[in-house]
Amino acid sequence: MGFVLGGAFFLLMALGMPIGLAIGVAATIVLLLNGLPLQMVPQMMFTGNNSFALVAVPFFILAGDILAKGGISERIVAFAEASLGRIRGGLSIVSTVASMFIAAISGSGAATTAAVGSALLPELKEKGYDLDFSAALIAASGTIGVVIPPSVPMVLYAVIAGESVAKLFMAGFIPGALMGTGLILLALHVAKKRNYPAADPVPKEEKRRRFKDSIWGLMTPVIILGGIFSGFFTPSEAAAIAVVYSLGVAFFVYRSMDWKKFYRLVVGAGVTSSLIMFIIATSKLFGWGLAFYEVPEAVANALLGVAGGNEAMVYLMILVIVLLAGMVMETASALIILTPIFLPTVIQMGGDLIHFGVMIAVGLAIGMATPPVAIDIYVASAITGLSVEEISRPIVPMVLVLMAVLLLTTYVPWLTVFLPSLIWG
């Protein structure tokens, strides 16, 4: 019956049914074939969403939208440009550094790409940078948005795996920094090869002005992450505080927000959140079907059997599946489906679930910059007017850099477990 469950899901996906519906319908078909009561459907769906940690999801999405549309990201990018623009190819570095910083506010790859791209791409073109390379770099840097905390996918993983959101957030710092460092080194190499210019010098007075102008935005991750890691408030409370703080800055400090714009942002965040929550609800039903027919255990036994008990080989096979899933599925959907399938395998090998959570987040993040379902590339395409194909070509070496970081994250667990163990023991 496990084959019926999986076969129905993939058939419905191939027919073009939205993933949330495909998951729910496939699980319902299996229930009907086994004569189980349909009352289980709403009960399981409600149970799937009955988690306080999930409150963070809509708030982090809304905070990311306010960041991008409320004038906060532009000021952070302007300060980064004043600080780093004097280096040859400095605007490329600014693209990645700004993405890393904004990732610490938005928790979303698409929001990070939109915020940085809208602020920097016109100037990159004006300064003589190749537009396709610049768009690709910003799209690739956007993947850091779901690795450096806060991260919506990590919240979802924590709920499914029963792990600490705070520990997952802390574990994402070093891999996220490595992703950014790798992209910066690649950008510097390309800048030297193509003789990209350095930006005009910015007077000290102007640097100070930009710093003062951006300080409100720069304080956002300090408040969010500082509060979480100090134990002052939970990740869900931090998400709500992020919305209140960014709204206050946009409305009363920068005066770049009005009620009409805020209403549109709330509606947009509500639609996105409802889609994610519906997928979580139907995935609970789907996950019950998987567990009932012992599909995860069968997958674990199959992987361990093929690999001959070699843990490195098992992780490699999981990585391949995660990368392929990230290429054809939206990040949250892939994570919600794959996590319960692979968790028993990791547990059976004695793996660390925090390490595995970061590993799967990095793997699926790469999918955000890998066609055909590459949301960061589509965002960059919408900003620049370039086709997805034009951006996809120069992004290949960047994806290879990110894959190298993924391998490091997978086979050097210290990179993920060091900071959580340092703080929580």
User: What secondary structure does DSSP assign to 330-367, as a single string?
Assistant: -HHHHHHHHHHHHHHHHHHTT--HHHHHHHHHHHHHHH
Find all residues with CB under 8 Å of 219, minimum gap 6, and list them.
none
* Residues 392, 397, 398, 402, Cα dihedral to 10°: 120
At residue 347's C-alpha, the angle toward residues 342 and 349, to 5°, is: 100
Q: Which two tokens stand for residue 272?
A: 């996105």
Token look-up 């890691």 returns 229
Q: Which two tokens stand for residue 50?
A: 């009955």
3-state secondary structure 1-13: CHHHHHHHHHHHH
Rounded to whole angstroms, the Cα distance separating 324 from 320 reads 6
Q: Which two tokens stand for residue 385?
A: 């007017």
What is the reported pLDDT for 425? Answer: 67
Would you say 354 and 417 are in contact if contact means Cβ atoms under 8 Å apart? Answer: yes
pLDDT along the chain (425 residues), means of 10: 74 82 85 82 83 82 80 79 74 82 72 78 79 89 87 88 90 93 91 79 82 84 83 85 88 87 89 84 82 77 80 90 85 85 88 94 90 81 85 91 95 93 82
Rounded to whole angstroms, the Cα distance separating 139 from 182 reads 14
Rounded to whole angstroms, the Cα distance separating 374 from 315 reads 24
What is the reported pLDDT for 107? Answer: 65
Rounded to whole angstroms, the Cα distance separating 97 from 117 reads 13
What is the reported pLDDT for 203? Answer: 80
Nearest Cα to Cα of residue 214 among 64, 65, 81: 81
What is the reported pLDDT for 256? Answer: 84
Token look-up 């700004």 returns 98
Q: Which two tokens stand for residue 147?
A: 């690795």
User: Any idea what DSSP says for residue 197?
Assistant: P
Would you say 112 and 145 are in contact if contact means Cβ atoms under 8 Å apart? Answer: yes
Rounded to whole angstroms, the Cα distance separating 175 from 64 reads 21
Rounded to whole angstroms, the Cα distance separating 408 from 402 reads 10
Rounded to whole angstroms, the Cα distance separating 102 from 108 reads 9
Would you say 155 and 56 are in contact if contact means Cβ atoms under 8 Å apart? Answer: yes
Q: Kindly write down the DSSP assignment for every residue of 227-273, as one continuous string.
A: HHHTTSS-HHHHHHHHHHHHHHIIIIIS----HHHHHHHHHHHHHHH
> Percentage helix, strand, coil, to 5, in the chain?
80, 0, 20
